Amino acid sequence: MKDIHAFLCSPAESTLRHGPHDRIVMSSRVRLARNLRDYAFPGWAKKPERVKILETILPAVSSLPEMADSFADGMDNLAALDKQLLVERHLISREHAAKSVGSGLVINRAETFSVMINEEDHLRMQALCPGFQTRAAWQAIDQLDSALEKKLNYAFDNELGYLTACPTNLGTGIRVSAMLHLPGLVLAEQINPIIQSVNKLGLAVRGLYGEGTEALGNVFQVSNQMTLGESETVIVERLEKVLSQIIEHEENARQTLLEKKPKVVFNHIGRAYGILANAHSISSKEAMNLLSLLRLGMDMELFPGAPRPLVDELFLTTQPAHLQKQISDKLTAEERDLIRADMVRARLKDLSRPVTK
Amino acid sequence: MQCCVCKAKPATVHLTQIVGEKMQKLDLCEECAKAKGVNDPASFAMADMMLGLGASQELDPSSGAVEVKCPRCGFSQADFKKSGRLGCPECYRTFAEGLGGLLKTMHKGTRHVGKAPEALRQTRDNVDRLKTLQKKLTKAIETEDFELAAQFRDEIKALGSAAPAKTR
């Protein structure tokens, strides 16, 4: 049995993944919901049925050529901390982290595919790409799905499409989403009108970890909500259009802030630097919000020569499970805040103050 | 549709009742429904439509009706109200009537467009073509273009023998 922590690449390596527009679009993802025809949905199936479903799906997924050299296991074999680690890497949902016997997980070596078994549906498979690559993510998961449909009996109806546990996912079962870093729109106080107009287009805006989470570190997730009555390509293309517009708005907001309110920008970034480089106790929430400003400072070239991955890595390693995995899982929240601050100070030791004219 | 009691007014209240193993459907006009002791349709329609299943499957508990349950997994309308999720793929057929309205409020359309499993794709295309051809045939007969009608008839015949039974 593989250890998930040893299987995943290190936080430092993960920051080396790049894609188009990755200053603003941190990652793109497409997930598909699928179910087997002859079984009850996971939320209604009893444990023996769920175990049987898992025993049917897990080998089918693992045997795909795309999933050669993968991590594949039951959720009951993962420690709570490991599950949390996977949530922080966006490889599983928070809902899936709460699962145990009868649910499972398959992740490929490159961490581009993650297949959750018996989450809300029998199958929730996602393709994750760095930067703005929604179309590439769709093509990748479409291929994986086409290979898998030859091995499993999907629940499909000519009228309603792929049948899902929740009617909100019916039809294509697709959710296209992108994780966006939007500090400019937040600082310029333009984020709320943007969220409202995106909502009006039938798209959802959520926080860092999806449904019901807050936008820590100025990170927002934009995704489609409607899945029935439109093809996957149409849904992907609409999201692409909206994302391009949000990127443009964010770029404009940053530009305008620098031209019209440079002191406001320098003040925020300077304070963020000051606290991160000198604090002796810091919560993960505060760390993420300040690291977001540091990231903005790097985008604005206020830290000449500083390596961008430095901030991206801290963005991951300061999160609770990542921190505990490095040190020990027997720390109290207060102890973690001290260690987190020590780590951030040490990592930022060679970073000079922001250069402001 | 006419009221099945007075056979005069249009039916606006539709009930599905399961007695023993048998399913009974009733279509009533508002007055007859009230006379039969069914609650004011306006009072239950809205909330239930929003929650999921339509008024058609909701009965006044005092009338002693049995709740509709999915024959395959035993899931009921009450379970859906609690979780917002269905029990199994078959539930979509069991609760089809009530779900129709909900899907309309939730999605762009009520008919799937997009990917289908390869194995079903051909059947799906054939069913679509069959429907179109039948429409064309009716139209051709209406316009008395019998030559064209004969052509459509032959095409439908050919398609019918090639396509396996409908998958639904």
Pair A71, A126 in one domain: yes
Give CA–CA dist A147/A172, Å, rounded.
17
Pair A272, A225 in one domain: no
What average pLDDT score do residues B129-157 get?
A: 87
Pair A237, A124 in one domain: yes
Q: How far is CA A337 from the centre of its chain?
A: 24
Q: Using the beta-carbon criterion (under 8 Å), do A157 and B123 form an inter-chain contact? A: no
Q: Is A161 on the interface with B (CB under 8 A)?
A: yes
Q: In what order do the strands lie in the sheet with A203-206?
A: A71-74, A104-107, A113-117, A123-130, A25-34, A174-181, A219-224, A203-206
Give me the pLDDT at residue B120, please. Answer: 79
Closest Cβ opposite residue B114 in set A37, A168, A231: A231
Pair A52, A136 in one domain: yes
Quick check: helix, strand or coil at residue B1? coil
Which of A225, A254, A283 is the last residue in one of the domains? A254
Q: Count up the domains in chain A and report the number.
A: 2
Pair A195, A299 in one domain: no
In a domain, residue A12? The reply is no
In a domain, residue A4? The reply is no
Question: Of B120, B142, B124, which is closest to residue A155 (Cα–Cα)?
Answer: B120
Give me the pLDDT at residue B48, please. Answer: 45
In a domain, residue A24? The reply is yes
Length of chain A, please? Answer: 357
User: What CATH number should be reported for the domain holding residue A87?
Assistant: 3.30.590.10
In a domain, residue A9? The reply is no
Give CA–CA dist B109/A116, Å, rounded.
28
CA-CA distances (angstroms) from residue B154 to A3, A332, B137, B147, B148?
63, 78, 10, 11, 10
Alpha-helical runs (H) found in A161-231: 183-187, 191-200
Q: How far is CA A302 from the centre of its chain?
A: 27
Q: Is B83 on the interface with A (CB under 8 A)?
A: yes
Give me the pLDDT at residue A55, please. Answer: 97
Left (φ > 0), alpha (ψ -120 to 50) or beta: where does A83 sit? alpha
Q: Is B70 on the interface with A (CB under 8 A)?
A: no
Pair A281, A212 in one domain: no
Render the burial of A237-257: b for 16+ CB within 10 Å, e for the rest: bbbbebbeebbebbeebbeeb
Which of A254, A276, A296 is the last residue in one of the domains? A254
Please tell me the distance in Å from B9's CA to the nearest CA on chain A. 33
Cα-based angle B99, B100, B102 (whole degrees, multiple of 5): 65
What average pLDDT score do residues A70-91 get?
A: 94
Closest Cβ opposite residue B83 in set A37, A43, A227: A43
Does residue A172 register a pLDDT over 80? yes
Closest Cβ opposite residue A228 in set B110, B118, B127: B110
Pair A108, A223 in one domain: yes
pLDDT in tens, B63-99: 445 678 999 999 998 999 889 999 999 999 999 988 9
Pair A219, A313 in one domain: no
> A303 and A272 in contact (C-beta within 8 Å)?
no
In a domain, residue A107? The reply is yes
Which of A231, A254, A277 is the last residue in one of the domains? A254
Burial of A129 from C-beta contacts in 10 A (0-12 / 13-18 / 19+): buried
In a domain, residue A93? The reply is yes
pLDDT band of residue B12 (cuts 50, 70, 90) is confident
Helix H or strand E segment including A203: strand A203-206
Full domain range(s) for residue A319: 262-348
The residue among A39, A160, A234 with the most chain B CBs within 10 A of its CB, best to mutate, is A160
pLDDT band of residue A150 (cuts 50, 70, 90) is very high
Tokens 């199994």 -> residue:
B88
Pair A78, A200 in one domain: yes
Q: Which residues of B touch A146 (CB under 8 A)?
A: 118
Pair A133, A89 in one domain: yes
Pair A190, A301 in one domain: no
Q: How far is CA B92 from the centre of its chain?
A: 10
Q: Residue B136 corresponds to which tokens in the numbers above?
A: 């064309």
> A108 and A341 in contact (C-beta within 8 Å)?
no
What average pLDDT score do residues A258-285 get?
A: 96
Q: Residue A244 corresponds to which tokens in the numbers above?
A: 């391009």
Alpha-helical runs (H) found in A171-261: 183-187, 191-200, 232-260
Please tell me the distance in Å from B65's CA to the nearest CA on chain A. 24
Give me the pLDDT at residue B118, please. Answer: 87
Length of chain B, please? Answer: 168
Give me the pLDDT at residue B62, please. Answer: 44
Give me the pLDDT at residue B67, please. Answer: 76
Give me the pLDDT at residue B166, please. Answer: 42
Pair A144, A250 in one domain: yes
> A184 and A253 in contact (C-beta within 8 Å)?
yes
In a domain, residue A118? The reply is yes
In a domain, residue A53? The reply is yes
